[in-house]
Structure 1
């Protein structure tokens, strides 16, 4: 299995980032959401390969098959991991696709490293630019929501994730599209992640302000979001991001939940492929 091996900034430990690399053509890196892994892209990878792309997925530190360090769950560290992967694979003209928390890596990557290696950005159900409700971000999510999430993860992580999985796909509305097996599979991915990483990432995706970072994006950019998303409200995220990124496009999926990669698979795949054409 391929891994990106890197040493932490203080040289105290090594980090191994698991990745998979398939297909030929223009490269696409798919960045997963919280608290999943690269396995969430099971129904996107074949479609993108068949459309003529080289498709790379990886597991964020603390998740999937990657190392589980105790600290380092900030967007700065995670953007550095992404940059190291791009350098290791000598990629150019890369399309970065970030789902949910993964949208934060896109914003922070551009802020830290620019767009020299990047040709397109696609934010899907993304938390970027800013989820937290503040005086100048009034449509955001109140801080107590994230604090409650942290408390529940600390007290009963497995129990919290069970309920979160159903809210993720608006299960009552999409029972015909999402089987119990799909829910169980997603839960098994989520519950196998680092408990500390699962906890710390809540602050990263919930409280990181990427509004200035988004203003630095200068490549073609697409925002995709479901108008029935119960996890990440589109107003402070994709809609605000669309306003901040010059000449970007916004595609709202009607009646789609947060986990639209499961409920609106074909529509999502088509939107990505059409944008890259």
Structure 2
């Protein structure tokens, strides 16, 4: 299995297909396994897809200070640094990003911090802001302890995160606010810094985030688009997979085509003029 040593830890990754690169960023209770129903369509459409388990998820190493890292105020920045080094190790060049929920937060931070490396971002079911602290938010949204969860939900978390750490990660998020700790969450100040094209995908009936968040998210972007998926809950990729993939591919194809045309135009402008006779 392919691993890359990223800042002293073993990070698991997979690469599928050939073409323009798309990096998929999983959500906060998951691993790259969540993308198994999505990435084949991207490969078939002519993209090179890079999936990886972020630090402490799936098959990637945690490190002894994982809890401090997970509950710290630098969680997003640390994840961005990991992705930057992984991109360098794998020689990814410029790439698209598709992020689900917390993966979308990482994508926004990365696009704002490293604009020269990002072609586009797609975020799906990603929180824009909270009215209460994330500790309060998660306590309200996830009232059941791990052992009280429905068997189907618990089994999915065990599959995604791994049997060793699924319960501890879930409980840290549920009781302590997880990556965003005791503060209110607000990504709005960061969104105007995202220069690349950005697609905001949102479900119309998420149990976690109200759909009105999508409009604020979209309107805070300089180069944004918005698509709302009907009759869809939080896990958009799972509940409306065909529509989800259709929106993502339409966006990726348009951005890729526009970038290719821009590159052709630039090369034409920079080409030396033919000699005068």
> Shorter-chain TM-score category?
0.7 to 0.9
Aligned structure 1 segments of 4 or more residues deviating by more than 6 angstroms: none
Superposition pairs of residues 108-127 of structure 1, within 5 angstroms: 108-111=109-112, 113-127=113-127
Q: Which residue of 1 aligns with 2:219?
A: 243
For the aligned residue pairs, the C-alpha RMSD in angstroms reads 2.5
Contact 1:107–1:213 (CA under 8 A) maintained in structure 2: yes
Distance 1:241 1:125 in 2: 11
Q: Which residue of 2 aligns with 1:3?
A: 3
**Partner secondary structure for residue 190 of structure 2:** helix
**Is the aligned partner of 1:157 residue 2:146?**
yes
Q: Which residue of 1 aligns with 2:78?
A: 77
After superposition, what is the alpha-carbon deviation per residue over 1:80-122, rounded to whole angstroms, capped at 9, x for unaligned? 11111111112223001110111110122233x3211110100
**Is the aligned partner of 1:218 residue 2:195?**
yes
Q: Which residue of 2 aligns with 1:43?
A: 37
Superposition pairs of residues 38-187 of structure 1, within 5 angstroms: 38-69=32-63, 70=66, 71-73=68-70, 74-111=75-112, 113-127=113-127, 129-130=128-129, 132-133=130-131, 144-148=136-140, 152=144, 156-160=145-149, 162=150, 165=153, 184-185=155-156, 187=158
By relative contact order (CA 8 Å, sep 6+), the higher-ranking structure is: 1
Q: Which residue of 2 aligns with 1:173?
A: none
Contact 2:111–2:195 (CA under 8 A) maintained in structure 1: no
TM-score, normalised relative to structure 1: 0.78
Give how far 1:234 is off.
2.9
Distance 2:160 2:197 in 1: 32
Contact 1:76–1:108 (CA under 8 A) maintained in structure 2: yes
Contact 1:98–1:105 (CA under 8 A) maintained in structure 2: yes
TM-score, normalised relative to structure 2: 0.78
The number of residues matched between the two structures is 240
Give how far 1:231 is off.
2.0
- Structure 2 unaligned blocks of 5 or more: 254-277
Distance 2:134 2:111 in 1: 27
